[in-house]
Amino acid sequence: MFQFIGKLITQMREEKEFTKEELAHKCSITVEKLNEIESGKLTPSVAVMIRISRALGSRLGTLLDGQESCGAVVTRARQAVENENPVGSTAPYSENKIFSSLAVGKNDRHMEPFIIDVVNNPENEDKYTEHEGEEFLYILDGTVEVTIGSEVYKLERGDSIYYDCLVPHKISCASPVSAKILAVVYTPF
């Protein structure tokens, strides 16, 4: 999935006639990181993807799936697995998450719904992130710690949290192996 995103970012950047240096500067990332994203070697965080989509004048959803549909989009359980993004497991990025997008193909959306498997790996701890928008998390299984600013919230199965993404935040697994959450990210355009 993220090799496709890298190719799409390259295509959109070239259509806008941005150099790699210009896009990297607009997104506050290094040219090296942009090269790795465009080549599919690096899986960007949601915050970085939001910055890239904004710089390219696009929605986050366009980068995530590159498909367009104005009607309802149904994602069957088996399709969500096919859209997995093994962040941190096959790509050299410091997040412990596997994302399964639940709205592939919906072009006019402002929300990004995901099922996220959060893996417990202290050696690969998440870094704080911040970006425009809001997030809603619902814990499906296990326990997670959500740190927002200096506040830490320990959430278990059935708990939920809704917060402003402009505040630095991170999500960590507090279960022995992994946790599963439903996450809905809203990004204004």
User: What tens digit of pLDDT does each residue of 163-188 get?
Assistant: 998 898 989 899 888 899 999 988 77
Domain that holds residue 21: 2-65
- 101 and 131, same structural domain? yes
Q: Is 124 strand, coil or helix?
A: helix
Element containing residue 161 per DSSP (H, E): strand 160-164
- Asked whether 136 and 95 are in contact (CB, 8 A), the reply is no
Q: State yes or no: pLDDT of 32 exceeds 90.
A: yes
**What does the pLDDT read at residue 163?**
93
Could you tell me if 81 and 61 lie in one domain? Answer: no
Q: Which residue has the higher pLDDT, 99 or 69?
A: 99
Q: Across residues 52-78, what is the average pLDDT? A: 68
* Residues 177, 84 share a domain: yes
Same domain, 108 and 177: yes
- What pLDDT does residue 100 have? 72
pLDDT in tens, 111-152: 888 888 888 876 656 678 888 889 999 999 999 999 999 999
Whether residue 70 lies inside any domain: the answer is: no
Q: What is the mean pLDDT of the segment spanning 100-118?
A: 76
Residue 105, pLDDT > 70, answer no
Residues 86 and 18 in one domain: no
Domain count, the chain: 2
pLDDT above 70 as % of the chain: 73
82 and 60 co-located in one domain: no
Please give the DSSP secondary-structure letter assigned to residue 69.
-
On whether both 61 and 107 belong to a single domain, the answer is no
